Amino acid sequence: MSITSIIQKNTIDSLSALFNQSFSEKDFQVNQTKPEFEGDYTVVMFSLLKALQLSPDVIGNRLGNHLIKTYPEIYTGYNIIKGFLNLSVADDYWLALLDKNYNDNCYGKKEMNSKKVMVEYSSPNTNKPLHLGHLRNIFLGWSYAEILKANGYQVIKSCIVNDRGIHICKSMIAWQKFANGATPQSTGIKGDHFVGDYYVKFNDAYKAEVAQLIAAGKTKEQAEKEAPIMKATQQMLLDWENGKPEVMELWKKMNSWVYEGFDFTYKNIGADFDKVYYESDTYLLGKDIVKQGLEKNVFYKKDDGSIWINLEADGLDEKIVQRSDGTSVYITQDIGLAVQKYEQYKIDQSIYVIGNEQNYHMKVLQLISKKLGLPNAENIYHLSYGMVELTTGKMKSREGTVVDADDIVDEMIGTAKQHTEALGKVQDFTGDELEALYKTIGMGAMKFYLLRVDPKKTMVFNPAESIDFHGFTGPFVQYTYARIKSILRKLEADGAITNELHTTNNGLLKLEKDLIITAEQYPAVLEQACTEHNPSLIANYIFNLAKTFNSFYNEHSIAKAETEEKKYVRIKLALFTANIIKSSMQLLGIAVPERM
């Protein structure tokens, strides 16, 4: 139980005993005491004033005295400032917590529960490579899946690959028209980049044909419909849906090039999936569900044969669920896949990591699922996130202005190399060790920067800022970890670290206590990040812990501590901090180097 929970429980019990009333956590707040005041944790008493009809000083004094008298092993003193009861927690409590947990690599993590959660993320299209926007999605989904695991959930990481449709046919048509048989192998271009180049070529050719038709007297709308390359693409989609052999062969060949490219990128950035779905397998799902919906009068059929649902009473609008020709639309496919996921895995919750431009679509998905009475409809959750922009502005894949994931990864590793060499502290590293270090720092910088922002917010990615060793960055946290490990190696070489680090209470200095208090908060932060679907809470916490350790170590030596007892306490503090940094950074998908 966290110290905050302990204070809440002790306060409820003390208030009940003092005033013969029932109280709950909602009747007051417990916060960490502000630095300018004496104390460790503060009970905010304003909401108690009306119920008790007493002044803050009277309530505070009675409550403070009762807490000290009843729980002397926890509280050593208090003061009252204008409705705030500031409590001082006993050094013995903090030292006992340190003794119990300093060497626990699983500190903060929960036992497995019986709940099963699927987290869907990435969801790329096979007409272009992964880009910077995908990276935020992938890092967010992967990290949240790991946070769920740390909180005791069984997790299935899934991905739906959008491998069919008009956009895929655009790349296929462009390859037929412009490639002259070229392949990724013959050109030396990575498969997903190769196919993506033809998606851009399609757009260039389409714009040129539209311009020619407009010049010949067509309206813009007519020109866009009649452009030969667009007509050819639409025919190819029909041929694909009819299973035309040569079209299917080309589709499989080009998708295989893309999958090979995706696999390289996923491995390079440390992403993985337990289950991959393909839209070409799922796009016909949902037809039976539409039929059931008609029978239940959830859906209705229009005169042209198309099938709809009216969601106006729910604050939305009418939504088509099946076209007049009997083909599914995206929402129907998604409903069918949602059912398939549940039937395959019996999941308790299905989490979709999808950009906020799909907020409406996800509302409709859950609403229709509820109206149909589908299993687990209540537990569909949209982990919505904002777009990533560059300092140069928004990205557009069809115009070739997107920053490819591979390119940004290479840039980050190159920048890490420049910064590390500038510091001049790696002369004794081998070539292989340096390459591994540059990748660790570069990937850590990018992941931390993309995850440190609340997912709901749109963000601007600045590569140079993300790798600053002194800023709110992954490299700062990595450097702190490496610094602690260096300190511990020297102490171990001197024989200062043994299996038995005996400590007794000879008083904690302020910065020592600050570090223990910050470390103690990790389990609560880990739980909050899970509950709020927000890995940025982990990133912000771990930066604060690293900053707190550096403040402590800049003031207090470990090797030259005033006494052996102090040395042992500080060694434990260093071990505790290092374990939490490593554990929490792993939840963000970030490795921490033993030296740098």
How do residues 10-19 score in pLDDT, each as one tens digit? 999 999 999 9
Average pLDDT over residues 400-413: 84
Mode of pairing for the β-strands spanning 275-278 and 75-81? unpaired
pLDDT of residue 399: 47
Average pLDDT over residues 471-494: 94
SS3 category, 294:
helix
pLDDT interval class at 167 (50, 70, 90): very high
pLDDT at 395 over 90: no
pLDDT of residue 502: 60
Q: Report CA dihedral (572, 578, 579, 582) to the nearest 10 degrees.
A: 180
Describe the strand order of the beta sheet including 318-322 as a list of residue ranges.
300-301, 307-310, 318-322
More confident call, 323 vs 261: 261
Of 479, 421, 422, the closest CA to residue 445 belongs to: 479
Domains and CATH numbers, the chain: 3-89 (3.30.1360.70), 165-263 (no CATH), 287-327 (no CATH), 405-587 (1.10.730.10)
Segment holding 193, helix H or strand E: helix 191-215
Average pLDDT over residues 261-267: 97
Mean pLDDT, the chain, integer? 93
Average pLDDT over residues 269-277: 97
CB-CB contact of 338 with 347 (8 Å):
no
Average pLDDT over residues 204-223: 95
Question: 382 - beta bridge partners?
Answer: 352
Using CA atoms, how far apart are residues 194 and 369, in angstroms rounded to an integer? 39
Average pLDDT over residues 537-557: 97
What token pair was written down for 249? Answer: 């062969």
pLDDT at 109 over 80: yes
pLDDT interval class at 401 (50, 70, 90): low
Instruction: Write the CB contacts of 14 (distance below 8 Å, at least 6 apart in sequence).
Output: 63, 66, 67, 70
Question: 276 - beta bridge partners?
Answer: 159
pLDDT of residue 500: 62
pLDDT of residue 501: 58
Question: 77 - beta bridge partners?
Answer: 88
pLDDT tens digits for range 135-150: 999 999 999 999 999 9
Question: 308 - beta bridge partners?
Answer: 300, 320
Using CA atoms, how far apart are residues 133 and 574, in angstroms rounded to an integer? 37
Average pLDDT over residues 346-363: 96
Using CA atoms, how far apart are residues 366 and 332, in angstroms rounded to an integer? 12
Which letter does DSSP use for residue 26 in this model? G
